[in-house]
């Protein structure tokens, strides 16, 4: 098997201000599938084409933002090895028992120098996507509900010490640097896009003075037309849109950024190219950050730099 180690983004747990209002939003406007609720009051969702029990979990709190972002790894041996590698690198790790998150195996959690909690896990119950494994249909009725993204694709996180975060992902977790935006003096990276796969990014970080901030969780759409349809549904439901529909220069992804009812930004996204680990990193100079963000308008939208939860 060619893909080993860290396989893919597996879950994000996000804080919301009003749980039931948020459930309506994520279920009926974004069109996620509700898969469970737990004793802590958390609500679990998956995208229609995801096969594991959950990928997006919300809990009610006094402030919006992200609690943690998790990656699925190949198997238990990989989990144990990555745990040991993280400790050998000098990071403290914590084991969270199986079942603490519904239908999810034991998780290894650690804190990045950016203040974000990252988790690795090897097991999550396969509930399927509602489509038969033999002679499967290309889609099912759940895809037609709300915006209907196919999967949780990536997150962009804001915090300090991006250079150290980059080292952990590339030297310990097996990610590679796909693209970066340089700082104004050209000496460091203001933002980095990292992949553990053939995707243009599985996680991204931008330098920011405050720790542990969420810029956005991104949901994959199948086509550009589906991104435009997402924009229609946002407007029909008076969802505040931040940027787009447009195309990022960075990653070439076609996008809309918008806000959930608590002010957490999310993205509906498609496209980009397909990098391999041997590809040379693409670099954007700071004066071209505007094109990187919004290629047609060449505009470094103020909200991109300043509005996070």
DSSP 183-198: -TTSSSEEEEEEESSS
In 3D space, the residue among 128, 307, 150 whose CA is nearest the CA of residue 219 turns out to be 150
DSSP secondary structure string, 103-159? TB--EEEEE-TTS-EEEEES-B-B---SS-SSS--S--GGGGSSS--SEEEEEEEEE
- Work out how close the CB of 229 gets to ligand M3P at its nearest, in angstroms, rounded to a whole number: 19
Q: Nearest distance from residue 44's CB to ligand M3P, in Å?
A: 24
164 catalytic residue (yes or no)? no
Stretch that binds ligand M3P, among 17-25, 60-68, 94-102, 243-251 (CB under 6 A): 243-251
Q: Does 251 bind ligand M3P (CB under 6 A)?
A: yes
Site for Fe ion in 211-240 (CB under 5 A): 218
67 by DSSP, 3-state: which?
strand
Set 11, 53, 201, 215: catalytic member: 201
When binding is defined by CB under 6 A, the residue of 72, 213, 248, 265 that contacts ligand M3P is: 248
The residue sitting closest to Fe ion, measured at its beta carbon, is: 218
> Dihedral through CA 5, CA 9, CA 13, CA 17, nearest 10?
160
Q: Is residue 260 near Fe ion by the rule CB under 5 A?
A: no
Residue 179: helix, strand or coil by DSSP?
strand
Nearest alpha-carbon partner for 131 in 120, 117, 143, 121 = 143
Q: CA 227 to CA 79: how far, in whole Å?
A: 35
Secondary structure (3-state) at 30: coil
| Catalytic hit among 11, 53, 116, 154 | 154
198 is catalytic: no
CB of 247 to ligand M3P, least distance (A): 10
Per DSSP, 32 falls in state P
Q: Where are the alpha helices (DSSP H) in the chain?
A: 19-24, 76-89, 162-167, 224-236, 289-293, 302-306
- Judged by beta carbon distances under 5 to 8 A according to partner kind, the member of Fe ion, ligand M3P, none in contact with residue 58 is none
160 contributes a contact to ligand M3P by CB under 6 A: no
* Candidate ranges 68-76, 96-104, 143-151, 248-256; the one touching ligand M3P (CB under 6 A): 248-256
Q: Which does 57 bind (CB under 5 to 8 A by kind): Fe ion, ligand M3P, none?
A: none
Which span (81-89, 122-130, 163-171, 289-297) binds ligand M3P, by CB under 6 A? 289-297
Count of residues for the chain? Answer: 309
Q: Among this protein's residues, is 216 annotated catalytic?
A: yes
C-alpha to C-alpha distance for 66 and 212, rounded to whole angstroms: 8
User: Does residue 151 belong to the site contacting ligand M3P (CB under 6 A)?
Assistant: no
Q: Which does 251 bind (CB under 5 to 8 A by kind): Fe ion, ligand M3P, none?
A: ligand M3P
Q: Compute how many residues bind ligand M3P; rule: CB under 6 A.
A: 13
Q: For binding to ligand M3P (CB under 6 A), which residues are involved?
A: 156, 181, 218, 248, 250-251, 253, 267, 269, 289, 292-293, 304
Q: Which residues are catalytic?
A: 154, 201, 216, 248, 257, 267
């Amino acid at each position: 098997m060619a893909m080993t180690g860290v396989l893919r983004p597996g879950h994000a747990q996000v804080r919301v201000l009003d749980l039931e209002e948020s459930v309506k939003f994520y279920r009926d406007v974004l069109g996620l599938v509700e898969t469970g609720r737990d004793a802590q009051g958390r609500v679990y969702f998956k995208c229609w084409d995801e096969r594991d029990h959950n990928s997006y979990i919300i809990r009610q709190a006094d402030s919006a933002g992200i609690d943690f972002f998790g990656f699925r790894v190949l198997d238990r041996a990989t989990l144990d090895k990555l745990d040991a590698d993280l400790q050998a690198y000098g990071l403290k790790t914590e084991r969270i028992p199986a079942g603490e998150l519904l239908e999810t195996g034991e998780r290894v959690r650690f804190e990045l120098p950016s203040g974000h909690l990252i988790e690795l896990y090897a097991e999550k119950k396969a509930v399927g996507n509602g489509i038969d494994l033999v002679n499967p249909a290309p889609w099912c009725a759940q895809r037609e509900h709300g915006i209907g993204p196919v999967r949780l694709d990536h997150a962009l996180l804001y915090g300090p010490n991006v250079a150290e975060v980059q080292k952990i992902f590339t030297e310990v977790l097996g990610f590679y640097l796909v693209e970066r935006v340089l700082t104004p003096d050209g000496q460091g990276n203001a933002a980095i896009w990292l992949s553990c796969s053939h995707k243009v990014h599985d996680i991204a970080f931008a330098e920011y003075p405050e720790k542990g901030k969420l810029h956005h969780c991104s949901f994959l759409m199948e086509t550009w037309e589906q991104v435009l349809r997402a924009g229609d549904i946002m407007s029909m439901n008076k969802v505040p849109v931040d940027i787009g529909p447009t195309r990022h220069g960075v990653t070439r992804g076609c996008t809309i950024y918008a806000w959930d009812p608590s002010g957490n930004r999310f993205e509906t996204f498609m496209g980009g190219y397909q990098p391999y680990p041997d590809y040379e990193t693409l670099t954007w100079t700071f004066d071209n950050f505007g094109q990187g963000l919004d290629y047609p308008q060449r505009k470094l939208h103020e909200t991109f730099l300043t509005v996070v939860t």
